[in-house]
Amino acid sequence: MSGITVHILTTNAPATIQRIREEDSHVASVICLDGRAEALPVSAAYDAFVRKPIGIVEKLTGHNSYRMDVSARVDGGRSWQLAAYLAHAALLHADARPRHVFATGEVDDALNVRAVEHIPEKLKALSIFLEENDIPHDQSVILVPASTENLPSSLDGIPVFGVGSIQDAMEILQLVDHKTSGAKAVPNSIPARRTGRKRWSKWVALFSIIGFLFWFGADFARWQAISNQGRAVELEEVLSRSSGLIDTLRTRTFRRWLSFSRPKGDLVKFDGVASVALDAASCQHARNITRRPITETHSGPETVCEIEMGAYLVDPNLKVVGRMAYWPYGLGVSDRAARTMRGHDQPNGRTWVLPFDDVPGPGAVVRLVTITGMSAIQGPQPWYQDLLRAKQTSPAFIAARHRIERLGYSVAVKDWSRK
């Protein structure tokens, strides 16, 4: 297996997928219990899930027979399919960084993730499992169908994500879908006399583009209008409602367009100043305060009375929004930041001014997160919860950042800490 460990959520306890081994093509795929010579009753359904023409695993891996060992019994039904598919996908990424994935959901032929039953019971069983096992919460993620109602944002500190498709899950886990990635280069064996063919190819390409735009039609224009108005959450909801192969192709194509058009590179320049004084009482009088350029950390003996941070756009055609959060006892240590700020508009960006009511002591952190795009995001922005509190290497932060990027925006972070 790769560095990714996948667990199947059940109503009893998660069943860890211990290993997956290729078998001879002429034998049926099986699921066995803990390395024993015992095929579980769900094996027939697993074989169908793997093998063409019904199965989808063979389309992913190119092989049609496997033995999968699990740590606990997996009953019938289809809720094990999402975890099984992701475990096979993980085999294609041996260099993936270690993490634990807890998953439940049915996967259909179009790679959509469908609803399954008993998710509250499965999450309750998972909570008990986490108490009894040493699982690194900052390297774990929980994936369930996006259609699940009353879905919590986290469980025992592990982020919970609703996914509508395999693509959603793969992007959260930062895995490239090998089935659709990259085309193989074809050696050029066609001799001269290419001019006429190239001209004909251009016409074919032109008519293909016209046909595609006609086919995409009103949906593309409507989605683009929502995007241009910065209604990001609404756009995300609309794109997650796809049903059937044609709708899925349309939404995936539009998401690729958003990814292509997303601003990239160093989009904002951060700077700022820290106002310091000898002690907290001196912060009350302007004459006692000294302003210094802000650095990533402040380790001097002075008291920090206030910090001001700015995010200035490199491209004047872009728009930036953001939040600043103050964590007196360390990043994400408490449930909520002591203070969260939206900042103020400037001609070429935004600024945030944070006067400290309780001056920061050792370990205090201020995080500034900016989101940049062709339009400023309007309305609710639920992704800030993870962007402002989680480590930048954590699955929660990475998933939140990818959630924004899939909508055509780019994320930048500036951290300041008191040593």
Q: What DSSP line would sit under 364-376, residue for residue?
A: -EEEEEEEEESS-
Judgement on whether residues 111 and 244 belong to the same structural domain of the protein? no
Tell me the percentage of the chain whose pLDDT exceeds 90: 54
Q: Are residues 283 and 320 in the same domain?
A: yes
DSSP 248: H
Q: Are strands 113-114 and 140-145 parallel, antiparallel or unpaired?
A: unpaired
Q: Is the pLDDT of residue 77 over 80?
A: yes
Q: Is residue 307 part of a domain?
A: yes
Distances (CA, A) of 386 to 117, 148, 395: 27, 20, 10
Q: Are residues 288 and 256 in the same domain?
A: no
pLDDT of residue 191: 35
Q: What's the CA gap between 19 and 257, in Å, rounded? A: 37
- pLDDT value at position 305? 94
State what percent of residues in the chain have pLDDT above 70: 88
337-356 pLDDT, tens digit each: 999 999 898 888 999 999 99
Asked, for residue 255, whether it belongs to a domain, the answer is yes
Is 93 within a domain? yes
The beta strands (E) that lie in 278-337 are given as 290-293, 297-298, 303-313, 319-327
> Considering 223, 239, 261, which residue would you say is the last residue of a domain?
261
Residue 160: inside a domain, yes or no? yes
Examine the pLDDT at 396 and tell me if it is beyond 90.
Answer: no
Predicted pLDDT of residue 97: 79
pLDDT surpasses 70 at 401:
yes
Question: Is the same domain home to 254 and 290?
Answer: no
Take residue 366 and report the two structure tokens written for it. 């201020």
Residues 251 and 275 in one domain: no
What is Dmax (Cα atoms) for the chain? 84
408 and 336, same domain (yes or no): yes
The stretch 10-16 carries a mean pLDDT of: 94
Is position 189 within any domain? Answer: no
Write the pLDDT tens digit of every residue in 198-255: 445 555 565 555 555 555 556 778 888 889 899 998 888 888 876 667 677 778 888 8
Q: Is residue 218 part of a domain?
A: yes
The reply to whether 48 and 69 lie within a common domain is yes
Which pLDDT score is estimated for 260? 83
pLDDT category of residue 418 using cuts at 50, 70 and 90: very high
Residue 97 located in a structural domain: yes
* Tokens (6 digits) for 340: 């969260």
Supply the pLDDT for residue 182.
35
Task: Indicate if 160 and 97 belong to the same structural domain.
Answer: yes
| Residue 199, in any domain of the structure | no
Q: Which residue has the higher pLDDT, 115 or 201?
A: 115
Out of 8-22, 41-55, 247-261, 264-278, least confident range: 247-261
Residue 167 and residue 19 share a domain: yes
Q: Is the model's pLDDT at 399 over the cut of 50?
A: yes
143-195 per-position pLDDT tens digit: 999 999 888 888 988 999 999 999 989 988 888 644 433 333 333 333 334 44
Parent domain of 109: 4-172
In this structure, are 215 and 322 located in the same domain?
no
Pairing of strands 365-373, 319-327: antiparallel
The per-residue pLDDT for 197 is: 47
Look at the chain and report how many structural domains it folds into: 3
Among 146, 172, 198, residue at a domain's last position: 172
State the Cα–Cα distance between residues 351 and 321, nearest whole angstrom. Answer: 10
Helix axes 81-91, 43-50, angle to 10 degrees: 50
Average pLDDT of span 79-88: 96
Is 407 found in the same domain as 324? yes
- CA dist 386 and 397 (Å) reads 5
Tell me, yes or no, whether 294 and 248 share the same domain. no
Domain boundary among 172, 194, 219: 172
**What are the tens digits of pLDDT across the range 278-327?**
999 999 898 999 999 998 899 888 999 999 999 999 898 999 999 999 99
Q: Looking at residue 95, what is its pLDDT?
A: 75
Per DSSP, helices labelled H in 266-416 are: 384-389, 395-405
pLDDT digits (tens, 9 = 90+) for 218-228: 677 888 888 98
Query: What does the block give as tokens for 121?
Result: 């019971």
